[in-house]
Amino acid sequence: MQGQARNEREWEQWPGRGTGGDKRGRLRGLFTPSDAADAVAELIAERGRELEERSAQIRAAVEELEHREERARELHYRVEQILRDGAAELDLRQAELSVRSADLDGREAALEHAEAKVEDRRRALGAVELRAAAIERREEAVRLREVELEHRAAELAELARQLDDLGRTLEGAGVRRVVREDEHVALAAADRYRLVVRTGPPPEPGELVELEDGYYRCVRITASPFPRDDRSCAVLEPMALPVDE
């Protein structure tokens, strides 16, 4: 209270201040409404409205942010669920792919084995075909050789007949031929006719005779084709070679 009284005394002693009546007039003037006070009130009201609008905007923004956060949480949950489902599906597909890959590897190995077997059979078939072709050529050569041998055998038979006729002619003329037993002549027909002198008596018809170029069979015994020869002549034909299987 003392402080307030002192302040009032100082205010009353301020230079330029008048008497007590003037004081009361000025005080009434302070509490009298004026245009400036209305403007201040209106400004305060306008600022209040702006603050309320701003507060409403902030509340709306906060609600929007909360709504967006809720949507973001939902989207995050859905994305995580999709990722989990996708990971599980990828694992399942990876397992299926692994099984299929192993199956394909097995099939590929089986196919390679089958191809190898087919290649081996193809080579074997080629070898068989080559062998069959060789056998056919050999059979054809043997057939031609047999035909040639038959032709030569016929020629030998004709020559032997002529020699027999000559011997009978000589016997009819009273000429007795003395046959030597220490050697004989062999008339062999192979690729060409040839005469071979062999020691010992002549072979019997049908007997197998071995010469330098192979085996021959004795067809018949006749007189020697040489003039004034007292040796016998064995007509030989070559033995047909067997076909290799």
Q: Please report the pLDDT score of residue 21 as a whole number.
A: 52
Residue with the larger pLDDT of the pair 32 and 119 = 119
Confidence of residue 122 (pLDDT cuts 50, 70, 90): confident
Contact between 186 and 195 under an 8 Å Cβ cutoff? The reply is yes
Backbone angles phi, psi at 135, to 5 degrees: -65, -40
Rounded Cα gap, residues 130 and 110, in angstroms:
30
Q: Please report the pLDDT score of residue 228 as a whole number.
A: 78
Determine the 3-state secondary structure of 201 from DSSP.
Answer: coil
Backbone angles phi, psi at 34, to 5 degrees: -140, 170
Structure tokens at 201: 């008596």
Beta strands in the chain (DSSP E): 183-189, 193-199, 208-211, 214-223, 232-238
Task: Label residues 173-186 b or e (16+ Cβ within 10 Å = b).
Answer: eeeeeeeeeeebbb
Rounded Cα gap, residues 131 and 137, in angstroms:
10
Q: How many CB atoms lie within 10 A of CB 240?
A: 12
Rounded Cα gap, residues 193 and 185, in angstroms:
13
Confidence of residue 194 (pLDDT cuts 50, 70, 90): confident
Provide the 8-state DSSP code for 145.
Answer: H
The pLDDT tens digits of the residues spanning 33-45 come to 556 778 888 888 8
The pLDDT tens digits of the residues spanning 138-162 come to 888 888 877 877 777 677 667 767 7
Q: Please report the pLDDT score of residue 148 as a whole number.
A: 79
Contact between 221 and 210 under an 8 Å Cβ cutoff? The reply is no
Domain boundaries, the chain: 23-245
